[in-house]
Structure 1
């Protein structure tokens, strides 16, 4: 299956909302997302409109979607810019691929777009791309490793379940795959 990978357009805010709600309704959401379906469903339209408009303008947070030939959105990834960290970096969040699109390569294509966008930023130049992966999500962790992400050694408690851990993974600029600071 082939996809067009692109940022969301401002006029597509309702489709963005629908995809996010589908992601949060998915059974894997309990380990993949910190927001609940109820929280997202309760957000006013203006928030979804602002998110979509910012993506169309190329501003972070930027949402990339994978659009199938049918026009259906198969998945998404969101990229944030974090300038206040030790090094300038982007942070990948909101990764979701609909069940019927899993195993097609869409997740890899979405990540390649997010990583490429990160490396193309000029002011400031990003030094790394990071993300957090739940310890109970080995499929996602395997994908991230295949893309060159490595564990940094940093962990945090899952905000929804303090007995569970999330691990930070990072990809350094230039293919340097040493553990990030």
Structure 2
């Protein structure tokens, strides 16, 4: 693979914004993301600057956004990893009582799909999470909409297992987001 997987830099907020807006225009965005294109488009430059800063190496320490950079410099995909501690409220769903990483914002541009880019992004994000000494991560989890069968199949293929936990879809409580996880022992 000729792409470079790396963490965003704080000064790349405009590229963070562009890639997120591209993700929110994807045909399955309504079941893949918890926000809309219009909501994100309305966010201020300060919002995007803070988002990039928090997800960079110099950020809070509990968030990293990894991007796949093509040889020509184009950002082809992204995955964000959030660290969740048992003594803090879970960002989404239930806590697990252990230090865990939560994968969100998974996106690969349609023209870059099918070549292993998503796997490489996951490897970068999960390698970072597993490498942390403090907190030591015991599991990595994510949520996938019950109708997002393609994404669920991909997550299973790379080792995630359905946990049986689910939460109502924000905005439509009749639909469910299903938790998938991989434990440190099973990785």
TM-score by length of 2: 0.89
The match for 1:124 among 100, 112, 135 is 135
Matched, 1:62 2:73: no
Distance 1:10 1:172 in 2: 31
5 Å matches for 1:2-81?
Answer: 2-54=2-54, 55-57=56-58, 59-81=61-83
Name stretches of at least 5 consecutive residues in structure 1 with no aligned partner.
Answer: 177-181
| Count of matched residue positions in the alignment of Structure 1 and Structure 2 | 176
**Structure 2: 5+ residue runs without aligned partners?**
87-94
For 1:109 and 1:51, the matched residues in 2 are separated by: 23
Question: 2: CA distance between counterparts of 1:172 and 1:158?
Answer: 24
Residue 179 (structure 1) aligns with: none
Aligned to 1:95: 106
> Which residue matches 2:152?
141
1:164 aligns with 2:175: yes
Runs of 4+ displaced beyond 6 Å: none
Deviations 1:46-104 (A, max 9, x none): 22112222313263321100011111111000111110331110100000111101111
**Are 2:151 and 1:150 equivalent residues in the alignment?**
no
Please give the root-mean-square deviation of Cα atoms over the aligned residues, in Å.
1.3
